[in-house]
Amino acid sequence: MKMLYFFFSRNFSGCGRFIRKGHVLLFVLLIFLGACQEDVLYPEYRLEMPDIPLVWAEILGPPRWHIEWVNKDGAVAWADTEAFSLSVSLLDGWTHPVIAYPYWSSRDISPGVMKPCGAIYPLDVVDGKISLSWQGGVDAVFYRELSKGDNDKRRPQYFDWKRFRTLFRDEEKLNITIRADPWLADWKDIAKKTVASGFSALKIIPGKTENYTIDIPEDGPWMGTSPFAGAFAWEKEKKTVLQVSSTVDLYFCPKGILRCKKDIWIFEYWSE
């Protein structure tokens, strides 16, 4: 304590005569307590789902949710629910994702077909509540892809998630197409490159696609699997150019599902 007093008396010598020793010690104690203060820990956290896009609700109705998180034992736990909120216990002291997939069993849309919402714990904790978001779903998926890497120096627990999120508000640093719909990026490929050589906004670019022209089988509105995409006003029997990836891309309208891959498309009507 004498050393601390000596430090402050030397560095604040110009005003030292106005500061009593007791005041200096109190000042040091307040700094120490502030530096050691931890975030409040809760026995349970309330997870809250976001509203689904309006076009999803119009075409598919209310979803069920498949929710996954890391529990207090460090294991991945899950639950399926129709509710838009759920109370769970979480592993404290370590950054990890919470992810929720909307799905519609009545339409044969299983968990994982539609893009998820999510959050990063403890970054998104507010008064014991975690509000999952569609942008948070991108974070959670990217986290999981990063965790598959074998570079201990680039584990997702050490990743700067706050800085990552600011990129989607920066017109100069991030591709305008990705800012409009982050799911157009190949997050699996970006994670591999990040683990190998570090993170850079230059790695976040649209994934590879090819143009494919089809005759739209039914009137819209149409929707895709991304909550950021909005509705497509495609009309029946009108030629439309779609950008298809190497995987099967899905689109939905009030009458059924359109499955597209390079040079192949299939439309399946909803079962009544």
Work out the average pLDDT over 173-188. 93
Does residue 266 register a pLDDT over 70? yes
Q: State the virtual CA torsion across 195, 200, 201, 203 in degrees, nearest 10.
A: -50
Does residue 33 register a pLDDT over 90? no
Whether residue 201 contacts residue 173, with contact meaning beta carbons closer than 8 Å, is answered with yes
The continuous run of DSSP H or E covering 48 comes out as: strand 45-48
Nearest to 181 by CA among 164, 201, 204, 202: 204
Sign of the alpha-carbon dihedral angle for 107, 101, 227, 128: positive
Answer with the residue of higher pLDDT: 239 or 18.
239
Work out the average pLDDT over 190-217. 93
Whether residue 220 contacts residue 233, with contact meaning beta carbons closer than 8 Å, is answered with yes
What percentage of the chain carries pLDDT values higher than 90? 72
Using 50, 70 and 90 to split pLDDT, how confident is the model at 30? Answer: very low
Does residue 77 register a pLDDT over 60? yes
Does residue 24 register a pLDDT over 80? no
Work out the average pLDDT over 100-106. 96
Does residue 176 register a pLDDT over 70? yes
pLDDT at 261: 86
Using 50, 70 and 90 to split pLDDT, how confident is the model at 39? Answer: low
**28 φ/ψ angles, rounded to the nearest 5 degrees:** -65, -40
When mean pLDDT is compared across 7-11, 61-65, 98-102, 225-229, the lowest value belongs to: 7-11
Using 50, 70 and 90 to split pLDDT, how confident is the model at 246? Answer: confident
The continuous run of DSSP H or E covering 7 comes out as: helix 2-11
Q: How confident is the model over 44-76, as pLDDT tens digits? A: 999 999 999 999 999 999 999 999 999 999 999
Work out the average pLDDT over 131-152. 95
Using 50, 70 and 90 to split pLDDT, how confident is the model at 37? Answer: very low
Using 50, 70 and 90 to split pLDDT, how confident is the model at 150? Answer: confident
Q: How confident is the model over 136-145, as pLDDT tens digits? A: 999 999 999 9
Does residue 29 register a pLDDT over 90? no
| DSSP state letter for 236 | T
Q: How many Å apart are CA 30 and CA 28, to the nearest integer?
A: 6
Query: Mean pLDDT score of the chain, rounded to an integer?
Result: 86
Using 50, 70 and 90 to split pLDDT, how confident is the model at 38? Answer: very low
Instruction: Transcribe 154-174 into DSSP letters.
Output: G-GGGS-HHHHHHGGG-TTTS
pLDDT at 14: 41
- Report whether the peptide linkage leading into residue 221 is cis, meaning its omega lies within 30 degrees of zero: yes
Q: How many Å apart are CA 242 and CA 258, to the nearest integer?
A: 12
Q: Three-class SS of residue 144?
A: helix
Q: Is 60 left (phi over 0), alpha (psi -120 to 50) or beta?
A: alpha
